[in-house]
């Protein structure tokens, strides 16, 4: 195996690891889907208590958003920012 083959193999492995990493990051957002479920004609986040929203906002802003920014996961960053916007508009 020559150097070029090794580099090509490493690039391929890196792409696969990146896909897995983004898949795992994306999965961390799935628990937040409940915020958009219907509750008597309103979204869950619209009827939540302020303290619950504040807790979720803190987790999103202080834990997940920096993690996603560090990993340059643009799709996840956008989703987090949308969730934050929705929670803050109804806070």
Quick one: how far is CA 42 from the chain centroid? 23
Q: What is the pLDDT of residues 28-70, one digit of tens each?
A: 999 999 999 999 999 999 999 999 999 999 999 999 999 999 9
Q: Is the pLDDT of residue 90 over 90?
A: no
**Domain containing residue 85:** 3-89
CA separation, residue 31 to residues 17, 28, 37, 50, 80 (Å): 23, 7, 12, 19, 12
Q: What is the pLDDT of residues 72-82, one digit of tens each?
A: 999 999 999 99
Q: Is the pLDDT of residue 13 over 80?
A: no
Model pTM? 0.81
Q: Is the pLDDT of residue 91 over 70?
A: no
* 5 pLDDT tier (thresholds 50, 70, 90): confident
Domains identified in the chain, total number: 1
Q: Is the pLDDT of residue 1 over 80?
A: no
């Amino acid at each position: 195996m020559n150097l070029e083959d090794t580099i090509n193999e490493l690039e391929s492995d890196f792409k696969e690891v990146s896909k897995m990493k983004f898949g795992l990051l994306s999965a961390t957002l799935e628990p937040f889907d409940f915020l958009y479920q219907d509750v008597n004609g309103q979204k869950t986040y619209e009827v939540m208590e302020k303290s619950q929203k504040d807790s979720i906002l803190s987790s999103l802003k202080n834990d997940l958003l920096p993690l996603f920014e560090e990993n340059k996961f643009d799709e996840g960053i956008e989703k987090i920012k949308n969730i934050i916007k929705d929670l803050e508009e109804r806070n």
